[in-house]
Structure 1
Amino acid sequence: MRQGFDNDKYIELQAANIRKRIAQFGGKLYLEFGGKLFDDYHASRVLPGFEPDTKFRMLQSLSDDVEIVIAVNANHIEKAKVRGDLGITYDEDVLRLIDVFRDHGFLVGSVVLTQYAGQPAADAYRHRLEQLGITCYLHYPIAGYPHDIEHIVSDQGYGRNDYIVTSRPLVVVTAPGPGSGKLATCLSQLYHEHQRGISAGYAKYETFPIWNLPLNHPVNIAYEAATVDLDDANIIDPFHLEAYGKTTVNYNRDVEAFPVLKAMMERILGESPYQSPTDMGVNMAGCAISDDEACHEAANMEIVRRYFTAVVNVKRTGTGEEQVERLRSIMKKAGVDENLSPARRAALTREQETGAPAGAMVLPDGRVVTGRTGDLLGAASALLMNALKAVTGVDDAARVIDESAIEPICRLKTEHLHSVNRRLHSDETLIALSLTSADSPVAARVIDGLELLRGCDAFFSVIISSTDEALYRKLGINVCCEPKYERVSLYHK
């Protein structure tokens, strides 16, 4: 796909900027890490060339200086809060994160339970961590937070929290999701370090919005689309404009919280090192954009994708109309509409021609291929096969999968697994293709084309199954669906 972001340049600039910030505070920095650390697919979609694990790789270049602290809210443990994208609870995700970090050579120093107030589930989890050999600290609710600065920054406020023992210059504070208490953890540590006479500072690493892009740049608008459920809004940072006379972009929650945060830092350190929310950030993504037009196009596509995700969610759940309305406003601000991708028009036209669900995909060279529902393959499977044949130069009319590989799967589904639909899902189609490839060089060639579809956009005339959608996403193919089902029924699985 057309690249608009210099990944290597970004890693180099970002690591250098973090080292500079560590030095600014005398050799110790608490870095609040916002967003996803090693699976940032949103960033890779709106900044083509940005790899999903770029931030992780950047930290690896600093690994000898990095220590990771994971914060998790005790109330989230008590309520068994789930990460929507992974389908696992926050407490389980903490363990997953620890494994990932350790597998890549990072030191995970500890876990801190924030907002701890004796919750039974949190106590059980704390015991579990101890049994696993993981150091666990407790941070407590503070009366008057965040406005009673005098009480918060005192022995009765931050002073009650456990002091997290750390050993590295860069302490990355991350979490399984929002509301976990990363900022409060960083500030509590600043208080304790200052009480001990240790120089330390705080900074924030948040990729979006990108502070040195215009307010209405599509990349920043796409961030609003991505956080529509949080009511985040990009705004001009008024504190930065007043302090330096320069226009930068931040988001509303950081701007609203800055006066309180600045007052806390003044109370802890004697004076605030920052005059604006923008000052706190260390992100250098805007400096690594190599093709602004490519990022414009990619971000506009992401805005439309977010819209279709929202309208499909309304169809599935009956909730979220207000998010759809906001996304319509966001699309209008970006100057795009539902028909931005030629795949939509192609899919709907093919459905009209065949009278059955259909899909379409825009290939890396700009060609649009379609796939229709047939006797053996669903629309998602047919589209995947047609796209693979197109990118590998195999004749569209060629039968690539041996029927002897398809029929046994169909019989298994209907006769033994009692499925009413004998057509193959896209994952089953790939299994049949793989079986055929044992004796067919053409099938093997087609399989090798899977990586060429990464980053492509697909559109379907109906809501596809969760199985097909998951397979497409695993392949790195972006999926949108028209908000309607193939069948008129109340229950859809």
Structure 2
Amino acid sequence: MRVGFDNEKYLELQAARIKERIAQFGGKLYLEFGGKLLDDYHASRVLPGFAPDTKFRMLENLVDEVEVIFAINAGDIEKSKARGDLGITYDEDVLRLADIFRANGFAIAGVVLTQYASQPAADAFRARLEMLEIPCSIHYPIEGYPHDIDLIVSEEGYGRNEFVETTRPLVVVTAPGPGSGKLATCLSQLYHEHRRGTAAGYAKFETFPVWNLPLTHPVNIAYESATVDLDDANIIDSFHLEAHGETTVNYNRDVEAFPVVKALMEKILGKSPYQSPTDMGVNMVGFAISDDEVCREASRAEIVRRYFSAATAVKRTGAGQEQVSRLKVIMQKAGVDKDFLPTRRSALAREAATGYPAGALMLSDGTVVTGKTSERLGAASSLLMNALKAVTGVDPELEVISNSAIEPISRLKIAHLGSRNHRLHSDETLIALSITSSASTTAARVIDGLPLLRGCDAFFSVIISDTDEQIYRKLGINVCCEPKYERHSYYHG
């Protein structure tokens, strides 16, 4: 795939910038880590060359200086709030992240339950953490938060919160999702540190919006499309413009909240080290863009993908039409429409020509491969096989998977698993291909082509099954669907 981002340059610049900020505060920094730390697929899509685990790799360069605090809102535990991309609840994701950090040599300082009000599910999670020997601290709701500065920065405010003991110069405060209380955790820790006479500071790490790109740059517009459910927007940081005479971009919520954050820091530290939300940030991603046009094009494609994702969700659930409407406005701002993706045009044309649901996938060299529902394979399976044949140089007309591998799976589905569809889904197709590969060098060659599909775009003329979509995403293929079902029915399980 065309690369527009220098990952190695970014790793170097970002680590150096964080070290500078640690030194600025006398040797200790609480770093609020926004966005996805490990699975940042949005960044990898809009900045081709950015690896999904880049931020984690950057922290690995500082591993001996880092301790990690996980913040999780007790209310989110009570509501069983889940990550949409992974399908696991926030409390489970905290444990998943803790395992990953621990396995890579990071010190775990503990978990902070924010907004704790004796929620039963939060108490159960707290007991679970105790059993796992993970330190857990409680932070309470503060009346008048965030505007009653005198109460917040007092013994009855931050002073009531349990302090997390840390010993290393960089304390990364991360969370499973937004609204978890990362900022409040950082400032509460800062309050307790300064009561103990420890010099410490706070900074914020957010990849998007990219502060030193124009407001109308597609990379920044793509971020608006990614957060359309929050009904927020990127704006010019007016505080930075006034203080420094420099135009930068920030998120409207951060700009609106800055006077309060500044007042809190003044109350805690005596004076605020920052004059703007941009000042608080340490993000260097804008300096590692190596091909601006590649990133612009990738971001435009991402905006359109977000539109189809929202439109498909409306078709599935009946909710979210306002998000679709807002995404139409965002597409107009970026100068694209729903016909922007060449894969969509190809998939719809294949369906019109054959009368069957179809899909199209663009390979890294720009070639578009199509596939349709057949007697043995669904559209997603057919497209996957055709794409694999294309990248491995196998004759597209050759039947790679043996009938002896397909038929038992089809029979099992119908006779024992209660399915009415004998055609193979993508996961079943890959199993059949793997079985065939034990006796067929061609099948083995085809299955070895899977890594070559990572980063490719696929589009389907109908909504595909959750199973097919999950397999495509695991393979690193970006998936969009026309917001319609293959058949008219009330239930699509």
Which TM-score band (shorter chain)?
over 0.9
Alignment of 1:410-421 (within 5 A): 410-421=410-421
Q: 1:393 deviation in Å?
A: 1.0
**Which amino acid is the alignment partner of residue 155 of structure 2?**
D
In the other structure, the counterpart of 1:390 is 390
CA RMSD of aligned residues (A): 0.9
In the other structure, the counterpart of 1:82 is 82
Q: 1:431 deviation in Å?
A: 1.1
Q: Structure 1: how far apart are the matches of 2:469 and 2:119?
A: 38
Q: Structure 1: how far apart are the matches of 2:281 and 2:423?
A: 51
Alignment of 1:289-304 (within 5 A): 289-304=289-304
Alignment of 1:60-459 (within 5 A): 60-459=60-459
State the Cα deviation string for residues 262-298 of structure 1 (Å, max 9, x = none): 0111111111000000000001100000010110111
Q: Structure 2: how far apart are the matches of 1:372 and 1:258?
A: 53
Q: Structure 2: how far apart are the matches of 1:93 and 1:459?
A: 30
Q: 1:321 deviation in Å?
A: 0.5
- 4+ residue segments displaced more than 4 Å: none
**Which amino acid is the alignment partner of residue 444 of structure 1?**
A
Is 2:20 aligned against 1:39? no
**Which amino acid is the alignment partner of residue 24 of structure 1?**
Q
Is 2:467 aligned against 1:472? no
Q: What SS is found at the alignment partner of 1:179?
A: coil
Q: Flag structure 1 segments of 5+ consecutive residues without an equivalent.
A: none
State the Cα deviation string for residues 71-112 of structure 1 (Å, max 9, x = none): 111112222222222222222221111111111111111111
Q: Structure 2: how far apart are the matches of 1:164 and 1:103?
A: 21
Q: What SS is found at the alignment partner of 1:32?
A: strand
Q: Structure 1: how far apart are the matches of 2:232 and 2:362?
A: 31
Equivalent pairs counted in the alignment come to 493
Q: What SS is found at the alignment partner of 1:83?
A: coil
Q: Structure 1: how far apart are the matches of 2:72 and 2:346?
A: 46
**Which amino acid is the alignment partner of residue 360 of structure 2?**
A
Q: Structure 2: how far apart are the matches of 1:118 and 1:386?
A: 55
Q: Structure 2: how far apart are the matches of 1:359 and 1:90?
A: 34
**Which amino acid is the alignment partner of residue 339 of structure 1?**
D
Q: Structure 2: how far apart are the matches of 1:127 and 1:368?
A: 53
Q: Structure 1: how far apart are the matches of 2:124 and 2:48?
A: 43
Q: Structure 1: how far apart are the matches of 2:373 and 2:476?
A: 22
Q: For structure 1, which segment, 188-197 or 319-328, has the greater mean C-alpha deviation from structure 2 after superposition?
A: 188-197
**Which amino acid is the alignment partner of residue 113 of structure 1?**
L
Q: 1:11 deviation in Å?
A: 0.5
Q: Among the aligned pairs, what percent are the same residue? A: 76
Q: For structure 1, which segment, 249-258 or 433-442, has the greater mean C-alpha deviation from structure 2 after superposition?
A: 433-442
Alignment of 1:14-53 (within 5 A): 14-53=14-53
Q: For structure 1, which segment, 440-449 or 237-246, has the greater mean C-alpha deviation from structure 2 after superposition?
A: 440-449
Q: Structure 2: how far apart are the matches of 1:117 and 1:422?
A: 51
Q: What SS is found at the alignment partner of 1:82?
A: coil
Q: 1:206 deviation in Å?
A: 0.6
Q: Structure 1: how far apart are the matches of 2:368 and 2:84?
A: 32
Q: What TM-score comes out, normalization by structure 2 length?
A: 0.99
Q: Structure 1: how far apart are the matches of 2:439 and 2:429?
A: 16
Q: Structure 1: how far apart are the matches of 2:254 and 2:431?
A: 48
Q: Flag structure 2 segments of 5+ consecutive residues without an equivalent.
A: none
Q: Structure 2: how far apart are the matches of 1:369 and 1:89?
A: 37
**Which amino acid is the alignment partner of residue 274 of structure 1?**
Y
Q: Structure 2: how far apart are the matches of 1:446 and 1:126?
A: 48
Q: Structure 1: how far apart are the matches of 2:113 and 2:436?
A: 52
Q: 1:129 deviation in Å?
A: 1.2
Q: Structure 1: how far apart are the matches of 2:288 and 2:85?
A: 28
